[in-house]
Amino acid sequence: MASVVDQAPPRASLIYDPRVRGFFFQGVLVLLIGWMAYEAVTNAVENLRAARIASGFGFLGQPAGFDINQTFIEYSAAASTYGDALVVGLLNTLLVAAIGIVLATIIGFAAGIARLSKNWILAKVASAYVEIIRNLPLLLQLLFWYNAVLSTLPSARDAIELAPGFYLSVRGLSLPAAVFDGRAILILIAFGVGIVVSLLVRRWAKARQAATGEQFPIGLTMLGLVVGLPVLAWLLLTLSGGTPVTFDVPQQGRFNLTGGSQLFPEFVALVLGLAIYTGAFIAEVVRAGILAVSRGQTEAASSLGLKPGQTMRFVIIPQAMRVIVPPLTSQYLNLTKNSSLAVAIGYPDLVQVFMGTVLNQTGQAVEVVAITMAVYLIISLVTSFFMNMYNRRIALVER
């Protein structure tokens, strides 16, 4: 009996075997990359030796010898190292990014909702803002704010008084600085207690609403606890023995403003530029998110008797957030990365301090560029990690 079992498939030539091909192409790729890396490293070593540039990360411990005008840690040209300069630059970048993200979110949500407003003129103004700002390069906007707006402000002698104690001049924004004495820690503790208690109250209120349907004014209670407790602590401390918080208000002298704390014009221009630019992109993200919630949801909410405010808060926003959060994350990351444009207007951020001054002084391009890029990569990864966590929490739970 003739059988067709056990008949081996016809042997094709090896070059037609996909697995062999796969190995071949990947081998070529690995060889190519290896060769490029080898060439780059040997050339770099050779060039560095020729230019007498040291290598390795030892330079981080050497004295920096240059000044930075905005610092959050002890820093001085004489006593600090390049490593300290790196930390100063990083903190400045994080500060701009954090304040910029908060402001951009507020602007973006306001403009995004305004663009969907029934009020024609408000919607048109919001559209104009989004269209104009999105179509202009950020660098141009930063230069405009810094060179054309802030540098034409009056000198410190004729500073504009925005509000009592707030002066705007070509040297930046001067504002009262709070000076705390030792007992002020109690206010901080009161603030912490306020947050913890209000979270507990919210949990209880939610459980009660789920069980009985009775609502509890959570928002007002939380506000009262978080703001009220510190104010109460401050009042008690003041009554018991003098105020624990004094304000150092800037004084307008003949030539200068003294006292208070100061926001440098570079900082103001950068935060303003980043927030306005990113705000326009966030507005589009928010608008798309709200439009993605179908109209039936609004109608169903109305037919249940929810007020427009409640519809927005309990029905539209929670669903829109699912659409909004992923692109919002990338906008936050863009803002953080765009803060590196600080170098154009001289704000001492990571790139300006480290890739600019430190790179020029040490010449150690490879190490400096590698560290800077690594820092940005870490910031990106950490931000997306937290946003992904938040996204998972609000994502649609399916069976």
Stretch that binds another protein, among 142-150, 162-170, 252-260, 297-305 (CB under 8 A): 142-150
Question: Which position among 132, 178, 291, 382 is part of the footprint of another protein (CB under 8 A)?
Answer: 132
CA 83 to mean position of chain CA atoms? 23
Q: Is 381 in the site for another protein (CB under 8 A)?
A: yes
Q: Is 307 in the site for another protein (CB under 8 A)?
A: no
Nearest distance from C-beta of residue 148 to another protein, angstroms: 5
Q: Is 355 in the site for another protein (CB under 8 A)?
A: yes
Q: Is 135 in the site for another protein (CB under 8 A)?
A: yes
Chain residues 313-342 in contact with another protein, contact rule CB under 8 A: 337-338, 340-341
Gap between the Cα atoms of 124 and 119, Å rounded: 9
Q: Is 351 in the site for another protein (CB under 8 A)?
A: yes
> Closer CB to another protein, residue 332 or residue 376?
376
Nearest distance from C-beta of residue 96 to another protein, angstroms: 13
Gap between the Cα atoms of 157 and 238, Å rounded: 35
> Closer CB to another protein, residue 175 or residue 342?
342
Give the CA angle between residues 174, 180, 182 to the nearest 5°. 165
Q: Is 22 in the site for another protein (CB under 8 A)?
A: yes
> Closer CB to another protein, residue 118 or residue 254?
118
What tokens were used for 207? 């459980």
Sign of CA dihedral 126, 127, 129, 134: positive
What tokens were used for 252? 């307008």
Question: Which position among 300, 373, 382, 394 is part of the footprint of another protein (CB under 8 A)?
Answer: 373
3-state SS, one letter per residue, for 283-296? HHHHHHHHHHCCHH
> Closer CB to another protein, residue 132 or residue 300?
132
Question: Which position among 14, 17, 20, 25 is part of the footprint of another protein (CB under 8 A)?
Answer: 25
Stretch that binds another protein, among 105-113, 198-206, 248-256, 365-373 (CB under 8 A): 365-373
CA 98 to mean position of chain CA atoms? 4
Q: Is 98 in the site for another protein (CB under 8 A)?
A: no
Nearest distance from C-beta of residue 350 to another protein, angstroms: 9
Question: Which position among 179, 185, 291, 369 is part of the footprint of another protein (CB under 8 A)?
Answer: 369
10 Å CB burial of residue 229 (0-12, 13-18, 19+) is: buried
Which residues does 152 contact at the CB level (< 8 Å), separation at least 6? 170
> Closer CB to another protein, residue 76 or residue 147?
147
Gap between the Cα atoms of 255 and 219, Å rounded: 47
DSSP string of 86-99? Answer: HHHHHHHHHHHHHH
Chain residues 46-75 in contact with another protein, contact rule CB under 8 A: 46-48, 50
Q: Is 139 in the site for another protein (CB under 8 A)?
A: yes
Secondary structure (3-state) at 255: coil
Q: Is 299 in the site for another protein (CB under 8 A)?
A: no
Q: How many CB atoms lie within 10 A of CB 4?
A: 5
Q: Is 118 in the site for another protein (CB under 8 A)?
A: yes
Q: Is 127 in the site for another protein (CB under 8 A)?
A: no
Gap between the Cα atoms of 300 and 54, Å rounded: 70
CA 113 to mean position of chain CA atoms? 22
Question: Which position among 125, 186, 205, 317 is part of the footprint of another protein (CB under 8 A)?
Answer: 125
Secondary structure (3-state) at 31: helix
Q: How many CB atoms lie within 10 A of CB 156?
A: 20
Q: Is 79 in the site for another protein (CB under 8 A)?
A: no
| Pairing of β 172-175 and β 261-263 | antiparallel
Which residues does 12 contact at the CB level (< 8 Å), separation at least 6? none
What tokens were used for 88? 């100063």
How many residues contact another protein, by CB under 8 A? 53
Q: Which residues pair with 263 in a beta bridge?
A: 173
Nearest distance from C-beta of residue 38 to another protein, angstroms: 11
Name the residues that contact another protein, by CB under 8 A: 22, 25-26, 29-30, 33, 39-40, 43-44, 46-48, 50, 117-122, 125, 131-132, 134-140, 143-144, 147-148, 152, 337-338, 340-341, 343-344, 351, 355, 359, 365-366, 369, 372-373, 376-377, 380-381
